[in-house]
Amino acid sequence: MKDLKPILKTLWKSKTGPILLIIQIAVAFTILINVGYMAVHKWHEINKPSGLNEERLFTFMANLPVEPDNYKAQLEQDFADILELSSVENVIATNSIPLTSWGLGLALNKTESDESYITYAGVYSMTDGFIDTLGLEVVMGRKFDHAEMLLSSTDYTVQSSTVMVTQAVAKKISPEDWTLTVGKTIYINSRPYQIIGIVDELIATWPTWWGNERSVIYPVYTLTSESKFMVKAREGQLKQAMEDVQALLMRQPGRIIDDYQTFAHTREQGYKPMVSSLAILIAVTIGLIVITMLGTFGQARFAILRRKRQIGTRRALGASKWQIVRYYVLENIVITTLGILFGVVCAILLNVKLMEFFDLLSVPSEYFLFGALAVLVAGQLAVIPPALGAANIPPASATRSI
């Protein structure tokens, strides 16, 4: 530590280089902390469980090429035909397919008045067999009865009087003990519904919504000229099932099929913008660290070039190589620490701004700790090559003019 005083003195004497480096480190640290936090946040969003057995599902939109009076019969016939295929295990129709960004969201309230708002939730209306088809797990209460699961020509929100919710919604309704939620009544659009069961997980349709683990399921399905289907293939027969179902449906004249794809594909498409953002955030982070390391490297080299003679003199006077290296390592620690200190202040200020914009929580303190550690290590890695170079300056250069 006896080096510390001469280091501070030298830094003070030629300030520009160190100040520039401190700014770089502060900027890098500020961005690193916030971007790192956002990246981790995005990572969790992208890897959120959907609650579905994704590898066996495929989905599509198809019309019911008959008059409105026959919609019910046609849909039931389609189900029966599809279930006859040996490659298919189960099939349902739904108002909205998870992660496709197309669907309805509604506010849940405790009473008729919208003042008693609980949460916003993604809305599903599905046909009988959805628990098995999607691979959901009922963790509390019961499934819908067959009698509850109607195919109706009127709005499902009007026809239904019961709902199932996801565990995330249950926790919103009864924060103290979510298991008490079963049997409670909630109000949606001023209409009461009794919660009869809770499923573990079922992701809502919007990949970018941070609350998309919150879903509510109605037992009634509204018939229209078009339906969205979700099909569960038998183990290992996804491809076969997709071919079979398409061939089967297209036998009927006037049939239109669209968006025919595996759920894995839907998931990938849905999260693509977020994955891209994550990639960009990571690229920014790496770029910043590289630039900062280059800056550190350049600054150290510059300083050493300037002091070549001085270093030679110190060597001639008996300083060991290790002592020379230690000097520059210590100098780098001083500069980096100053940069980090400024960076911490900026990072907190930026975080406050970002919280206003993005509903983000404040960055946890361990990010600061790990961030500082990462910047220090990066700085050391960058300073060691020039420091070793300095240690190899021959003592004779003291006596030679340069």
Partner 1 sequence: MVNYYIKLAWLSLRKTPLLSFLMVSTIAIGIAAAMVTITVGYMMAQDPLPHKSDRVAMVHLNSWDPMQPYGYRRNGKNDIPSTLTYQDAMALLHANKADKHTLFAQFSDMIRAASADIRDAQLHPVRSTTRDFFDMFGAPFIFGGTWSEEADLNGEQVIVLSKHENDRIFGGGNSIGKELLIGTLLYRVVGVIDDWQPTPRFYTHRYLMYQPTLKYFVPLESQIRNELFSPTSMGWSCWGDAPNSTLADLLVSECVWIHMWVEFDSVAKKDDYFGFMSDYSEEQRKIGRFARPEPNRLMTVPEYLKMEGALSNENIMGIGFALAFLLACLCNVMSLMMTKFHGKGGEIGLRRAVGANKKDIIIQFGFESVFIGLVGGIIGLLLAQAGLSVLAEMFSNMHQNVMTMDIYLMLGTIGLAVSTSVLFGLWPIYRASQIQPSSQLNSL
| Residues in touch with partner 1 (CB under 8 A) | 16-17, 20-21, 23-24, 27-28, 30-31, 35, 61, 68, 101-102, 107, 114, 153-155, 158, 189-190, 222-228, 256, 258, 272-273, 276-277, 279-280, 284, 287-288, 291-292, 294-295, 298-299, 301-302, 305-306, 354, 357-358, 401-402
If phi > 0 it is left, if psi is from -120 to 50 it is alpha, else beta; for residue 139 that is alpha
198 or 288, CB closer to partner 1?
Answer: 288
**Locate tokens 């770089």: which residue?**
24
Q: Least separation, in Å, of the C-beta of 362 and partner 1?
A: 16
Q: Which residue, 109 or 133, is less far from partner 1 as judged by CB?
A: 109
Rounded to a whole number of angstroms, the minimum distance from the CB of residue 291 to partner 1 is: 6
∠ CA(212), CA(265), CA(137), 5° rounding?
50
Looking at the Cβ atoms of 110 and 301, the one nearer to partner 1 is 301
What is the rounded CA–CA span in Å between residue 381 and residue 81?
66
Output DSSP code: residue 324.
H
- Looking at the chain, the number of H-run helices and the number of E-run strands are 11, 13
Cβ distance to partner 1 smaller for residue 79 or 178? 79
Query: Shortest distance, CB of residue 213 to partner 1, whole angstroms?
Result: 21
State the nearest-atom distance from the C-beta of 47 to partner 1, in Å.
18
Cβ closer to partner 1: 291 or 377?
291
User: Which single residue is written with the structure tokens 């999607």?
Assistant: 134
Q: Tell me the C-alpha distance between 148 and 145, whole Å.
A: 5
As given in the structure block, the two tokens for residue 12 are 């003070």
Give the residue with the Cβ less far from partner 1, 178 or 221.
Answer: 221
In sequence order, the 6+-apart residues with CB closer than 8 A to the CB of 51 are 134, 135, 136, 137, 166, 199, 200, 201, 202, 203
Q: Is 80 exposed, middle or buried (0-12, 13-18, 19+ CB in 10 A)?
A: exposed
> What is the distance between the alpha carbons of residues 285 and 289, in angstroms, rounded to a whole number?
6
User: Least distance in Å: CB of 386 to partner 1?
Assistant: 12
- Least distance from partner 1 to the Cβ atom of residue 167, Å: 25
Q: How far is the CB of 198 from partner 1 (least distance, A)?
A: 26
Nearest residue (CB) to partner 1, 39 versus 85: 39
For the chain, what's the residue count? 402
Closest distance of CB 64 from partner 1, Å: 11
User: Residue 308 or residue 321: which is nearer to partner 1 going by CB?
Assistant: 308
- CA-to-CA distance for 166 and 108, rounded, in angstroms? 13
Helices (H), 251-364: 263-306, 308-316, 321-358
Query: What pairs with residue 200 in β-bridges?
Result: none
